[in-house]
């Protein structure tokens, strides 16, 4: 079912096929570092919270969070685990614990020491009984931690886990100042304190966030002095691609996130701009509310799925920079399997399913979307494709902060969302959406087969066996038509040429400690 981009820009399965003509990774840096100035960037979604475990948009939240926080480990742009606040780690023989050696002489922004006790406090907070933090499920296999000495900590697992190490490199594993957590309580998300290269300065709701240089940051730059190079970072909230493009062309911002493929050629033709290659892409999907209403009927969910022409939709939105895939696992991921059964356009099947579902003359439903590009265009095309079957969709456009609680509370009928994939581990995308305690169970799925397979995929340590489990999981999800997987599209950021050395992680989020603004 996979249709790979005709332009061949999808990254190879090993992550080694990034297009050399697109600037953005450290190899493309030019000249000596320049210190000073403010880097201004845009992000299309305002975080719910700057507490790493409380955010509900893990991909976009990272644009802000990785300026402020660090974990024991981190992912490079190829998806490889690298040391961060830990300098090394060693598994026990039974794979049920990991011992980390910590980086010495690191302090939090409030001057408190980072040490083994701080690691224990952070892990204990995430896994606390009764925790409702959205990122708590990322630590599903972690039983706790114990300090061996100030720079050595043991992380204990409930059982052997193929996903545990990766979980310590994402939001749940970001180290927060225990003293600040205690002092600020629920206000920590608005006054965050980490160990990162920048310190929190201000957050003007709906407008911007500003971070300033952490003078006590532990990393050195290429010039032998402490990072970061810039004095400050401003992250402006700009949800509309057209506005982002105006701002980056005028110099109002130097870096913008995730423009749509229709903007690529304009960027390439502008001598002041450059495309920044992004390791992952974006999967667009629709989620049905299976807890109540018309889509509790599986036949009607299937009717929608067989009424959408994904190939036409993908080509219209991505301009060829995309793929139709069985679920949201992209062709670049080791868990990808093109043989996973998936619904395709079948008008005769739609009519059969409408009759089976008791709606032979079609039905009406509301499609809830977030006000951003290209979700509006996706909704309009899907609406037009289903109309001949008398499946009439009313498009409801919401701000994200209204869309999230509506869909999580299952007050929607059908909704459009998206997710950046691949992530560091397949469990980090399947677990939060389909696990037993999934914080983002948009459809309201209560299916023991799904839960069991998510558990098995997380617990298995052999990659070949894990791939088979994830194939079965995707097959079960598609057989029940819980989602309508639309397409995968490649992503690019846009930067002004003066902004040098933009370092990305494997999720596409920028770490701006090493970036600088060139003179002239």
Structural tokens at position 324 = 């139709």
CATH number at 250 reads 3.40.190.10
- Determine the 3-state secondary structure of 213 from DSSP: strand
Structural tokens at position 47 = 């975080």
Of the residues 185, 220, 235, which one is the last residue of a structural domain?
185
Residue 464 in this model has a pLDDT that exceeds 90? yes
Residue 11 in this model has a pLDDT that exceeds 50? no
- Residues 337-362, mean pLDDT to the nearest whole number: 98
Asked if residue 454 and residue 381 are part of one domain, the reply reads yes
Residue 262 located in a structural domain: yes
Alpha helix (H) residue ranges in 51-115 = 58-68
DSSP letter at 23 equals B
Q: How far apart are CA 494 and CA 274, in angstroms?
A: 6
Residue 68 in this model has a pLDDT that exceeds 50? yes
How far CA 64 is from CA of 211, 247, 254, 428, in Å, comes to: 9, 19, 16, 19
CATH number at 90 reads 3.90.76.10
Q: Show Cβ contacts of residue 189 under 8 Å, excluding neighbours closer than 6 positions.
A: 48, 49, 50, 51, 54
pLDDT band at 459 (very low <50, low <70, confident <90, very high): confident
Structural tokens at position 169 = 């490199």
Better-predicted residue by pLDDT, 366 or 282: 366
Asked if residue 502 and residue 474 are part of one domain, the reply reads no
Helix axes 448-459, 427-434, angle to 10 degrees: 150
Distance of CA 88 to the CA centre of its chain: 26
Asked if residue 363 and residue 319 are part of one domain, the reply reads yes
Asked if residue 267 and residue 121 are part of one domain, the reply reads no
pLDDT band at 48 (very low <50, low <70, confident <90, very high): very high
How does pLDDT run across 224-245, given as a tens digit for each residue? 999 999 999 999 999 888 999 9
Residue 216 located in a structural domain: yes
Residue 206 located in a structural domain: yes
The dihedral over CA atoms of 50, 507, 210, 222, expressed in degrees to the nearest 10, equals 130
Burial class (CB in 10 A: 0-12, 13-18, 19+), 380: middle
Better-predicted residue by pLDDT, 513 or 428: 513
Of the candidates 259, 314, 272, 331, which has an alpha carbon nearest to the alpha carbon of residue 9? 331
Asked if residue 200 and residue 335 are part of one domain, the reply reads no
Asked if residue 217 and residue 117 are part of one domain, the reply reads no
In this structure, of 65-74, 107-116, 434-443, the range with the lowest mean pLDDT score is 434-443
Q: What is residue 347's predicted lDDT score, i.e. its pLDDT?
A: 98
Of the residues 133, 153, 185, which one is the last residue of a structural domain?
185
In the chain, how many domains are there?
Answer: 3
CATH number at 427 reads 3.10.105.10
Q: How far apart are CA 483 and CA 498, in angstroms?
A: 42
Of the residues 185, 215, 232, which one is the last residue of a structural domain?
185
> Please, are residues 114 and 175 in contact by the beta-carbon 8 Å criterion?
yes
Helix (H) or strand (E) holding 199: strand 198-204
Asked if residue 40 and residue 149 are part of one domain, the reply reads no
Q: How far apart are CA 244 and CA 237, in angstroms?
A: 10
Helix (H) or strand (E) holding 102: strand 97-102
Residue 58 located in a structural domain: no
pLDDT band at 30 (very low <50, low <70, confident <90, very high): low
> pTM for this structure?
0.73
| Residue 93 main-chain phi, psi, to 5 deg | -60, -35
| Residue 267 main-chain phi, psi, to 5 deg | -65, -45
DSSP assignment string, 479-512: HHT-EEEEEEEEEEEEEETTEE--EE-TTS-EEG
Most confident of 13-17, 435-439, 510-514: 510-514
Residue 169 in this model has a pLDDT that exceeds 80? yes
Asked if residue 425 and residue 510 are part of one domain, the reply reads no
Of the candidates 180, 83, 59, which has an alpha carbon nearest to the alpha carbon of residue 122? 180
> Please, are residues 461 and 95 in contact by the beta-carbon 8 Å criterion?
yes
Residue 495 in this model has a pLDDT that exceeds 90? yes
Percent of the chain with pLDDT over 90: 75
- Residues 152-158, mean pLDDT to the nearest whole number: 97
Alpha helix (H) residue ranges in 251-341 = 264-269, 298-307, 310-318
Q: How far apart are CA 494 and CA 489, in angstroms?
A: 16
User: Average pLDDT, whole number, for the chain?
Assistant: 91
Q: What is residue 508's predicted lDDT score, i.e. its pLDDT?
A: 83
Q: What is residue 461's predicted lDDT score, i.e. its pLDDT?
A: 81
Of the candidates 217, 250, 209, 256, which has an alpha carbon nearest to the alpha carbon of residue 233? 209
Residue 60 located in a structural domain: no
Asked if residue 294 and residue 266 are part of one domain, the reply reads no
Asked if residue 205 and residue 138 are part of one domain, the reply reads no
Asked if residue 285 and residue 229 are part of one domain, the reply reads no
Asked if residue 387 and residue 292 are part of one domain, the reply reads yes
Residue 85 located in a structural domain: yes
The maximal CA–CA distance of the chain, rounded, in angstroms, is 72
> Please, are residues 211 and 201 in contact by the beta-carbon 8 Å criterion?
yes
What residue numbers bound the domain in which 508 lies?
28-48+194-279+494-517
DSSP letter at 96 equals S
Residue 17 located in a structural domain: no
Residue 336 located in a structural domain: yes
Q: CB count, 10 Å around CB of 519?
A: 9
How does pLDDT run across 295-347, given as a tens digit for each residue? 999 999 999 999 999 999 999 999 888 899 999 998 878 899 999 999 999 99
């Amino acid at each position: 079912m996979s249709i790979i981009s005709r332009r061949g820009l999808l990254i190879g399965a090993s992550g080694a096929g990034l297009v050399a003509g697109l600037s953005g990774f450290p190899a493309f840096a030019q000249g000596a570092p320049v210190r000073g100035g403010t880097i201004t960037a845009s992000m299309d979604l305002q975080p719910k919270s700057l507490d790493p475990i409380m955010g509900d948009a893990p991909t976009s939240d990272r644009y802000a969070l990785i300026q402020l926080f660090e974990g024991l480990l981190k992912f490079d742009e190829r998806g490889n685990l690298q040391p961060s606040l830990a300098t090394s780690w060693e598994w026990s023989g039974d794979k049920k614990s990991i011992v980390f050696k910590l980086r010495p002489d690191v302090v939090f922004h409030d001057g408190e020491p980072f040490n083994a006790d701080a690691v224990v406090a952070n892990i204990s907070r995430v896994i606390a009984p009764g925790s409702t933090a959205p990122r708590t499920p990322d630590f599903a296999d972690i039983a706790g931690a114990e300090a061996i000495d100030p720079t050595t900590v043991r992380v204990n697992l409930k059982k052997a886990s193929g996903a545990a190490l990766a979980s310590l490199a994402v939001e749940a594993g970001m180290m927060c100042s225990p003293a600040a957590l205690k002092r600020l309580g629920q206000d920590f998300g608005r006054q965050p304190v980490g160990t990162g290269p920048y310190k929190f300065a201000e957050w003007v709701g709906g407008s911007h966030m500003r971070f300033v240089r952490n003078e006590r940051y532990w990393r050195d730059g290429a010039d032998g002095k402490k990072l970061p190079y810039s004095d400050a970072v401003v992250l402006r909230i700009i949800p509309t691609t057209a506005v982002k493009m105006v701002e980056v062309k005028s110099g109002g911002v130097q870096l913008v996130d995730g423009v749509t493929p229709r903007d690529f050629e304009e960027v390439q033709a502008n001598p002041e701009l450059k495309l920044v290659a992004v390791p992952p892409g974006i999967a667009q999907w629709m989620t049905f509310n299976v807890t109540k209403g018309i889509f509790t009927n599986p036949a009607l969910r299937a009717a929608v799925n067989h009424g959408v022409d994904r190939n036409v939709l993908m080509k219209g939105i991505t301009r060829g920079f995309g793929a139709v895939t069985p679920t949201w696992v992209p062709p670049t991921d080791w868990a990808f399997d093109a043989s996973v059964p998936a619904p395709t356009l079948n008008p005769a099947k739609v009519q059969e399913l409408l009759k089976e579902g008791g709606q032979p003359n079609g039905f009406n439903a509301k499609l809830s979307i977030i006000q951003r590009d290209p979700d509006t265009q996706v909704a309009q095309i899907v609406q037009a494709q289903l109309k001949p079957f008398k499946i009439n969709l009313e498009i409801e456009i919401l701000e994200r902060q209204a869309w999230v609680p509506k869909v999580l509370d299952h007050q929607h009928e059908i909704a459009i969302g998206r997710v950046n994939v691949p992530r560091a581990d397949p469990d980090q995308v399947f677990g939060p959406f389909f696990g037993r305690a999934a914080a983002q169970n948009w459809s309201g799925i209560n299916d023991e087969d799904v839960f069991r397979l998510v558990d098995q995929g997380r617990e298995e340590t052999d990659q070949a066996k894990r791939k088979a489990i994830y194939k079965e999981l995707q097959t079960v999800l598609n057989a029940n038509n819980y989602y309508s997987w639309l397409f995968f599209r490649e992503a690019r950021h846009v930067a002004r040429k003066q902004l040098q050395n933009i370092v990305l992680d494997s999720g596409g989020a920028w770490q701006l400690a090493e970036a600088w603004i060139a003179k002239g």
